[in-house]
Structure 1
Amino acid sequence: MIMGFIGFGKVSRNLAELIDSDDVEFITSIEGRSDSTIENIDESKIEVLPTFKEVAAKSDILISATSPKAAADVAKAYGKFVSGIYLDLNNISLETTLEIDKHVKNLVDGAIIGKIDSDNPTLYISGKTASKLLFLDEFLDVKVISEKAGDVAVLKLLRSSYTKTLTALLIESFEIAQKHDLENEFFEIVSLTEGDDFKEKSLSRITNTLKNPKRKAEELEEIISCFDDGELIMVKSALEKLNQY
């Protein structure tokens, strides 16, 4: 089986490490990729083809893990060359997912929940051919939600609306605590109700968000695009906060 990647950031790189099987061959391309992505590919030692068109055509499973804004364009450009499963792992809206479904034959809508670099993250999937990916359960926890592409898109955006809005509040509170030289005390007092691992998890969230504020802001924009009925006050505030970085 050949598994191809369009986009080779943290998600793709760790999936290639987790799916440790002699029966799976990984391919990608460095076409138009950044220096950091090319470095990731070189370190992973997977097969590199000249173009993504060739990657798409050769793959039994093509994984799109790029960015929310690029997801639809990637599907339009390469989906028509995929005869196998097209697995989209981008944090995109239901509207974008349904648009992608118009351009690929076998869309599976997916989301990785939990740290991708952990030993056993959870892959949630939906779509008519989602059950064909249950073999991946040998390498990570796989849960099929339904045969309806888009169900996972809604769930992952709901999760993101909670986690990213909460993280924006954490950043704001932490910054105020720093100004008062009370950051350690801040984590200590909140840990009394939120648990002993609150500081560790919070700092991880804050660090990850501040390393990728543009990417996180794009995900919030997808949430607003999908769900906005004039009530997303907190999500819009979180987006405003992230746009400051």
Structure 2
Amino acid sequence: MIIGFIGFGKVSKTLFNLLDSKDIICITSPEQRSDKTVENIRDSGIEVFESIKEVAAASDILISATSPKSALDVARKYGGYCRGIYLDLNNISQDTTYEISSHTDNLVDGAIIGKIDSDNPILYISGKHADDLLFLNDFIKTKKISSNVGDVAILKMLRSSYTKTLSALLIESSEIAQKYGLEEEFFDILTLTEGENFTQKSLSRIDNTLANSQRKCEELEEIINCFGDCDLIMVRAALEKLNR
């Protein structure tokens, strides 16, 4: 079996390391990739093809893990060359997922919940070909939600709505606490009700959000596009905060 990756950031690199089997060959291409991605590819030892088109055509499973902003463009360019399963792991809306399905056959909608490099990430999948990917449970815990493409996208958006809005609130509250010299005490009193690991998790969440603010903003914009007819006061406020 050949598994191809479009994009080779943290998610793809970690999945490649998890897919440790003599029956699986993993491939990718540095074409149009950033210097950091090219470095990841070189350091990983993954098999390299000259073009993404070649990767798409050769893959039994093609995994798109790029960014919300580029997910649809990637599908437009390369989805038609994929004759196997096209697994999209980007944090995109249901509508974007539906549009991607028009550019490739055999789309499976996916999401990795939890830090990909943690001990217990879970891969959620939906789509009529989702059953064909349940063998991935041998490498990463894999759960099928339904046979409907788009169901995982909705869950991704709902989770992002909660986590990114919460992150923006944590950033704002901790900034105020710092202003008054009470940051440590602020997290101490929250720990009393939120659990003993709350401070560590919160600081990690804040650091991750600040380090990846552009991607987080893209994801919040996807949420607004997905649920634009709903009351999204908190989501819009979080987007405004992160854009600053």
The TM-score with structure 1 as length reference comes to 0.98
**Paired-residue identity, %:** 69
Does 2:109 match 1:109? yes
Contact 1:120 / 1:139 at 8 angstroms: preserved in 2?
no
Q: Which residue of 2 aligns with 1:234?
A: 234
Contact 1:18 / 1:119 at 8 angstroms: preserved in 2?
no
Q: Which residue of 2 aligns with 1:73?
A: 73
Question: d(CA) in 1 for partners of 2:171 and 2:42?
Answer: 35
CA pair 111-68 structure 1, distance change in 2 beyond 3 A: same
Deviation at 1:31, TM superposition (A): 0.5
Q: Which residue of 2 aligns with 1:9?
A: 9
CA-to-aligned-CA distance 1:14-62 (integer Å, 9 cap, x gap): 1011111111111100111111111111111101111000000000000
Q: Which runs of 5+ in 1 are unaligned?
A: none
Q: Which amino acid aligns with 1:29?
A: S
Does 2:28 match 1:28? yes
Question: d(CA) in 1 for partners of 2:90 and 2:140?
Answer: 18
2:16 is paired with a residue whose SS is helix
Deviation at 1:119, TM superposition (A): 2.9
Deviation at 1:230, TM superposition (A): 5.2
Question: d(CA) in 1 for partners of 2:43 and 2:207?
Answer: 24
Alignment length (residue pairs): 244
CA-to-aligned-CA distance 1:162-181 (integer Å, 9 cap, x gap): 00000000000111111111
1:62 is paired with a residue whose SS is strand
Deviation at 1:120, TM superposition (A): 3.1
Contact 1:27 / 1:49 at 8 angstroms: preserved in 2?
yes
Does 2:37 match 1:57? no
Q: Which runs of 5+ in 2 are unaligned?
A: none
Question: d(CA) in 2 for partners of 1:78 and 1:54?
Answer: 9
1:123 is paired with a residue whose SS is strand
Question: d(CA) in 2 for partners of 1:207 and 1:57?
Answer: 38
Q: Which runs of structure 2 are paired with 1:212-223 in the superposition (5 Å)?
A: 212-223=212-223
Q: Which residue of 2 aligns with 1:131?
A: 131
Q: Which amino acid aligns with 1:9?
A: G
Question: d(CA) in 1 for partners of 2:195 and 2:14?
Answer: 29
Question: d(CA) in 2 for partners of 1:118 and 1:194?
Answer: 21
Q: Which amino acid aligns with 1:37?
A: T
2:83 is paired with a residue whose SS is coil
Q: Which amino acid aligns with 2:15?
A: L
Q: Which residue of 2 aligns with 1:140?
A: 140
1:103 is paired with a residue whose SS is coil
Question: d(CA) in 1 for partners of 2:24 and 2:173?
Answer: 46
